[in-house]
Amino acid sequence: MVSKAPLFQENEREVLVEEVRKKKFVLDGRSKDAGANARKNKVWIEIANLVNAVGGNNRDVKQVKKKWMDLKPLAKRKASEEKKRDAKQVVVWRR
């Protein structure tokens, strides 16, 4: 029987989202050459190491990538809501 990995803790999710945002330019690159793929893999390894450092779990790159794919729509929605909220505040200050 295979045991499930522990759920991602809040601090692990925060580090994951923050690190992906910082390294978005590498991870979102559309280039398919071997060098680009090697850079992406290296960045994912770095992110997995940072997630493991805060969470104390031994998650592999595949698990971290999967979690990001699950979190990505939520992170985008949250960023959009923050942007809208900030835009409303600017309008209030102009009055």
65-92 tens-digit pLDDT: 999 999 988 877 877 787 777 777 665 5
Q: What percent of the chain has pLDDT over 70?
A: 89
* Separation CA 40–CA 28 (nearest Å): 9
Tens-digit pLDDT profile for residues 4-29: 778 999 999 999 999 999 999 888 87
Q: How far apart are CA 82 and CA 25, in angstroms?
A: 21
Task: Look at residues 15, 5, 26, 25 and name the one whose alpha carbon lies nearest to residue 71.
Answer: 15
Residue 30's pLDDT is what? 79
Residues 6+ apart with CB under 8 A from 81: none
